[in-house]
Each structure stands twice: as structure tokens, then as C-alpha cells.
Amino acid sequence: MVEERSVPRGLLVDWGGVLTSGLEPALRRWAELDDFDFDSYLEAVMKWLPSESVTAELNPVHALERGQIAVPDFERKLASILVRRDGTPVPAEGLIERMFAHFEHQPAMSALVRRVNERGIRTALLSNSWGNTYPRDTWDGMFDDIVISGEVGLRKPEPEIFKLAAERLGLEPAECVFVDDLQLNVDGARAVGMTAILHTEYDDTRRALETLFGADLT
């Protein structure tokens, strides 16, 4: 006999790509305005990503997400491997701000999280930060807690950050639903016992949450 899973009591959501527009269009716009080839950016960053070392010299992206490297230092590292189409270097100062300038708020998703919270379900933001700022002044009534990778020294998809987010809501991982736009992070949440949704479209995510929580979220 298969044991039925109980109705979850918590919702964890990512920021970039879930509460905002997609990552790639925003980053492509940044590359266009800074006048460098986007594929060269991907190639450069991918060379950093395979290593799980916490050493900033080997993996600046992971170090930045954990808050182990200062934003200006990361900006200089990234700028040093990017070249504009005219051969001049990409300016390091303000690079992160320019990178995140083209993420567009998705009001429908924010309203969905608020409706979940209004129904007595605990909610939290769980985001990997690149040292960027967040529109916290727009989050009233959305979250019971906020977990930012650089503030807690952990990053998705490390199991500890999912467990921490659940704990801060007073819940077990198995009582939580997690929504993210990256499959790697979805897999990480499932590995600690969470129910996880790969976000692509608002309507699909809303319907999935309605099914899981047994509630009308329209």
C-alpha cells in the first residue's frame, strides 16, 4: 500500500527567473548594452562552474553566492575575461548592477505567493545572490522568512540551505514545496525530501501549487 503524502505547509520560491523574468533574456540584454558577445560570457563562466571547491580562485561564482568574495573583486575577475566587440575591456565597476538591471518584476507570481501566504501557508524566499540588491520594499505580505545565499554562507543546490530554509519556517523539508527555474536546484530540493516544481510559466506553476496545497489560488 502506497502511503499518501500529506498536504504541505510551506512554500519556498526562488527570485531570479521565478519572481522576475527569465535569466537568459536579461543577461543577453546586458551583453548587448555592454557590447560583448554573450556566448563568450557563457563560455567563460562555465569554465568556473564545474569545480565545487570553496576557493574563490577556482570558483568565483560559487564563492560570490556564498558571500566569500567581495562584489568588486568578483566584478574585476569577470570583467577581466570579457572583451567588447571593439577590443576594449568591459568596465568592472558597476558590472553586477548592469547585469541585473534588465530583470523584470513578474507581478502575477508575487501575487500568487501572497495568496498562498494568506491561506495560512508559510512562505519564504530562497535565492542565490550575486551580491545584487533585492526589491525588499515590495515584499510586504509575501514572506515569513528570507534566505539569501550570500547572507547565510550556503548556496543552492547544497542540501544545507534547503534544510535551513525549512527550519526557519518551523517545518521539515518534507513539508515544503520549492519553486525554481533551474533543474539543478529543483533536483537539490528533492534530494532533501521537498516537493519541487520547475517553473516555466505562471499558469503551470499556479495549477501545480493548487493541486499540492488543495486550494484555489486564482
Domain, as residue range, for 50: 23-99
Quickly state the pLDDT bin for 132 (edges 50, 70, 90). Answer: confident
Tell me which residue has cell 500500500.
1
Percent of the chain with pLDDT over 70: 93
Residue 92 has pLDDT above 80, yes or no: yes
Q: Which residue has the higher pLDDT, 46 or 54?
A: 46
Which of 99, 120, 154 is the last residue before a domain boundary? 99
Task: Work out how many domains the chain is built from and give that number.
Answer: 2
Q: Are residues 89 and 113 in the same domain?
A: no
Which of 99, 120, 152 is the last residue before a domain boundary? 99
| 53 torsion bin: left (phi>0), alpha (psi -120 to 50), beta (else) | beta
Classify residue 5: in a domain, yes or no.
no
Strands 176-180 and 10-13, sheet pairing: parallel
pLDDT at residue 70, rounded to an integer: 94
> What gap in Å lies between CA 58 and CA 49, rounded to an integer?
9
Classify residue 55: in a domain, yes or no.
yes
Classify residue 4: in a domain, yes or no.
no
Across the range 74-103, mean pLDDT stands at 93
> What gap in Å lies between CA 27 and CA 20, rounded to an integer?
13
Quickly state the pLDDT bin for 86 (edges 50, 70, 90). Answer: very high
Q: In this structure, what are the phi and psi dihedrals at residue 115, rounded to the nearest 5 degrees?
A: -65, -40
Q: Are residues 14 and 40 in the same domain?
A: no
- Specify the amino acid at residue 105: H
